[in-house]
Amino acid sequence: MTTEPSTSAATSTAAALAGDASCTEPWSARVRTLARLGRHREVLALLRDGDPSPPPHALALPAAVISCTALSLVSGVAQIQALGCKRGLLPSSDAYLLSSLLSSYSRLGLLPRAHQLLDEMPLASTPPTTLRTAFNSLISGCALHALPAACFALFRRMRAAGAPFDAVTLMTLLPAAPQSVVPQLHALAGKAGLAAETNVANCLISVYARRAAGLARQVFDEMPLTSRDIVSWNAVLSAHAQNGLAVDALDLYSRMCGHDGGSVEPDAVTLVSVLSSCAHLGARGVGLGVERYMQERLPGFRANMQLCNSLINFHARCGSLTQAQRLFNEMPRKSIVSWTALITGYGMHGHGDVAVNLFQAMVSEGIRPDNVAMVGLLSACSHAGMYDEGRKYFSAMESTYQLRPTLEHYTCMVDLLGRAGRLKEARELISSMPMPADGAVWGALLGACKIHKNVEIGEEAFEHVIKLEPSNVGYYVLMANIYTDTGQLEGVVRVRAMMRERGLKKEPGCSYVEHKGRVHLFMADDHSHRQAKRIYELVIKLEQMVTEKTDGTVENGQGRVDEGYSGKMAAPLIGFHSEKLAVAFCMLNTDDSEIVVIKNLRICGDCHSFLKAVSAIANRAFLVRDASRFHRFEGGACSCKDYW
C-alpha cells in the first residue's frame, strides 16, 4: 500500500511542481489533482510553499479543505476558513468552499462550528442555490452522526429561509426519517416533481422496504421502465427477499432478465437476493440457473464472499450438501457467515456430528462464534438428538464465548430437551429464562408434547402460546393432535370450536417438485394435475405393496404402531397427502435419480413411514424438505433415524 511521503518530501515535491516551468497545468488545477489522487500532504505543502502568482484561486481552497479533513487537521480547516473570509469568499459568496467547510467540520465531529458557520450566513442576501448547498451539507453531517432530530430541525429552517430542497436533501433525510414521516417526505417529493427521479425513487424503495415490501413495490411500479437502473431492481428485489416474499422476488428477477429489465444485467447484489429466495423456497432450478450465470458472466465470483456464502446456503437448503461443501472448500477466504451456512446446512440434514466438528474447526481457526452461529449449532444438536453436546455448548455461550443467550437460543434448547423427552426440564428452563418466553419458545414445548403425548404440559404451553400468537393456526392444530393421540375427543372439539370462533383455518399442506424446468405443485387430495389419474393409481398400488410388506401395520417413527393401511380398501385410510402425490409423479416421470420434494408443513408420521417403505420397495431415494428439516429416505430408512 502506498504510504504518504514525509513532510519534507512533500515540500520538495510541491516546490518542484510549483517551479516546474514545463508544467502547463494551472496551479489550482494541480492542487485539485493531488487531492483527488489522495496525496493530501503534497496538497498542503503546495498550498504553503508554492507561492503562486496571483494568489491561490478559490477553486484550490475546497480541495485543501478535503485534504485537511483526510489528515484530521482541524487547525488547517480553520486557517482555510480564515483565508476564505479574508478574501471575501465567506460567509456566503463561494458555495463550493462553504459546502466543503461545513462537510469537513461535520466529518471531524465539530458540529457546533458547522452550525456557527451556517448561522453567520446572511440569509436575505445569499443566493438560494448557495443556501441549499449549505443546508444540505450540514443535514448530511447530522445524518452522519445519527442525529435525525437535528436533521429535521435544519430542514425546517431551510424551508423557512426559502431555500429550495432538491434530490440530495431528500436522499439524506429519507434514511434518517422515522417510518411515520417517510410518506410525508414522499408527498413533498411528488409535489416538487422529484419523486420520479431515479435516485430519489431508489431511496424511497429502500426506506419503505424496512417496514414492508408493498409500498416499496408501489414506488418501483410507478417508475418509468427507462428510469429503472440496477439499483432500482436490487432495492425492490431485496425488499421482497428480506420480507419473506420469495415467490415475488423470483418473479421480479424473471422480469428483470426479460423485456422489463431493458439493458440492466444482474450483478452480485442481485444474485445474493435471488439465491436467498431460492433457498427459502427450495427453487433448485432457478438457483442452479443463477450458478451457471455466475460461472459464465462472473468468473471471479469466488472472490465475492457474500455471493459465495449465499450459494453455499442455497445448496445446503436445497439438498445438495456435497456442492455446499465443495464451494466452502474452494473459498479463498471464509467468514463466520460461511461457516454458519454450512453448520446450519448439516444440522438441517440431521448430521449433528458433522456440524459440531465444523464448529470446533471454526473456533480452532480463531473465528469467534456469534449468536447466529450458536443458533445453527444448537439446532443441529436438537435435530440429531445430541442432548449432551447441546447442553455443553449452551452453557459455554456465556462462560467461553461471552455471548448472552437470546430467545432463539432458548427456543433451540427447549426443542432439544423436549425432543429428548425431558419435558419437565424444558419447562424448568423456561421458568429460569431472564426474559419472558415468546411464542416460539412455548411452541417448541408444545411440539415436544405432541411427540410424547403429554397433555398436562401441552395444555399449559398452549394456554401461553395462544395469548402470544392468537392467530397462529399451527398451535391449535398441534393441541388438537395431542388430544387426538390421547383419545380425548372432547379436547379436540374444544380446540376446533376456538378455531371457528376466531376464524382460523388450517393451512393446507402442499408439496412441489421441479421437473424439466417446471414446478409441479400438489395439494392434499388434489386432482388438478393433468397426470392425476396415473398418479393416484400409482399411490394406491404403492399403498397395497406397503400393506403386504408390513401386514397392515406401520411403525410411525415416533414410538407407536399405526394401523394406517388396509388391503381391503381402494385408497389408504390416511388420505392422499401432497408429498405422496409429488413422489408418485416423479416416479412416473424420472429415471433412477434422487427425487427432491419441498413441503410447506412438517411431514406426518404416516407419510414418513410410507416413504421409508416405498424407498425400499422401489429402490429409489427421496429427499424431502419439510418445515423444519430434511428427510432422506433410502433403503427403507430415513436420515433422521426416526428422530424428528
Tell me how crowded residue 450 is: count the other CB atoms within 10 A of its CB: 21
**Is the predicted pLDDT of residue 615 greater than 70, yes or no?**
yes
Specify the pTM. 0.80
pLDDT value for 124: 78
Residue 283, strand partner residues: none
Q: How many Å apart are CA 325 and CA 313, to the nearest integer?
A: 10
Q: Which of 10-14, 310-314, 578-582 has the lowest mean pLDDT?
A: 10-14
Cell readout for 519 is: 414446478
**Is the predicted pLDDT of residue 562 greater than 90, yes or no?**
no
pLDDT value for 566: 33
**Is the predicted pLDDT of residue 479 greater than 70, yes or no?**
yes
Helices and strands (H and E) in the chain: how many: 32, 8
pLDDT value for 564: 37
Question: Which pLDDT tens digit goes with each residue over 136-169?
Answer: 988 998 998 899 999 999 999 999 988 899 999 9
Contacting residues for 150 by C-beta, under 8 A, at least 6 apart: 111, 142
pLDDT value for 94: 67
Binning pLDDT at 50, 70 and 90, where does residue 65 land?
confident
Q: How many Å apart are CA 486 and CA 488, to the nearest integer?
A: 6
**Is the predicted pLDDT of residue 568 greater than 60, yes or no?**
no
CATH tag, 405-506: 1.25.40.10
Q: What is the DSSP code string of 31-66?
A: HHHHHHTT-HHHHHHHHHH---SSPPPTTHHHHHHH
pLDDT value for 517: 78
pLDDT value for 567: 33
Question: Which pLDDT tens digit goes with each residue over 89-112?
Answer: 776 666 777 778 888 888 888 888
**Is the predicted pLDDT of residue 215 greater than 50, yes or no?**
yes
The whole-number average pLDDT for the span 522-533 is 90
Report yes or no: 236 and 270 within 8 Å, Cβ to Cβ. Answer: no
pLDDT value for 605: 84
Contacting residues for 155 by C-beta, under 8 A, at least 6 apart: 135, 139, 165, 169, 173
| Residue showing cell 434530490 | 167
**Is the predicted pLDDT of residue 298 greater than 90, yes or no?**
no
More confident site: 23 or 26? 26
Cell readout for 360 is: 470446533
Q: Give whichever of 49-58, 515-524, 534-543 has the largest mean pLDDT.
A: 534-543
Three-class DSSP labels, 563-582: CCCCCCCCCCCCCCCHHHHH
Tell me how crowded residue 594 is: count the other CB atoms within 10 A of its CB: 15
Task: Indicate the angle between helix axes 532-550 and 578-589, nearest 10 degrees.
Answer: 100
Rg of the chain (C-alpha set)? 32
Q: What are phi and psi of 110, to 5 degrees?
A: -105, 60
Tell me how crowded residue 316 is: count the other CB atoms within 10 A of its CB: 26
- Mean pLDDT, the chain, rounded, equals 86
pLDDT value for 640: 84
Residue 561, strand partner residues: 555
> What are the Cα distances from residue 284, in Å, to 9, 70, 315, 317?
60, 48, 8, 10
Report yes or no: 575 and 581 within 8 Å, Cβ to Cβ. Answer: no
User: What dihedral do alpha carbons 446, 450, 456, 461 form, nearest 10°?
Assistant: 10
Locate all alpha helices (DSSP H) within 487-569, ordered by sequence: 489-501, 532-550
**Is the predicted pLDDT of residue 203 greater than 90, yes or no?**
yes
Question: Which pLDDT tens digit goes with each residue over 542-559?
Answer: 999 998 877 655 554 444
pLDDT value for 184: 94
Question: Which pLDDT tens digit goes with each residue over 246-264?
Answer: 989 999 999 999 888 888 9
Q: How many Å apart are CA 86 and CA 61, to the nearest integer?
A: 13
Q: How many residues does the chain have?
A: 644
More confident site: 4 or 444? 444
Residue among 621, 609, 502, 629 nearest 563 (CA): 609
Residue 512, strand partner residues: 521, 598
Cell readout for 479 is: 393441541
**Is the predicted pLDDT of residue 282 greater than 90, yes or no?**
no
Residue 511, strand partner residues: 522, 599
**Is the predicted pLDDT of residue 578 greater than 80, yes or no?**
yes
Q: Give whichever of 208-212, 406-410, 512-516, 522-526 has the largest mean pLDDT.
A: 406-410
pLDDT value for 413: 96
Question: Which pLDDT tens digit goes with each residue over 27-62?
Answer: 777 878 887 888 878 877 777 766 555 555 666 778
Report yes or no: 555 and 546 within 8 Å, Cβ to Cβ. Answer: no
DSSP label at residue 226:
G
Residue among 359, 358, 356, 343 nearest 387 (CA): 356
Q: Is 511 helix (H, G, I), strand (E, B) or coil?
A: strand
The whole-number average pLDDT for the span 446-457 is 94
DSSP label at residue 332:
S
Cell readout for 151 is: 436533521
Report yes or no: 236 and 207 within 8 Å, Cβ to Cβ. Answer: no
Q: How many Å apart are CA 296 and CA 300, to the nearest integer?
A: 10
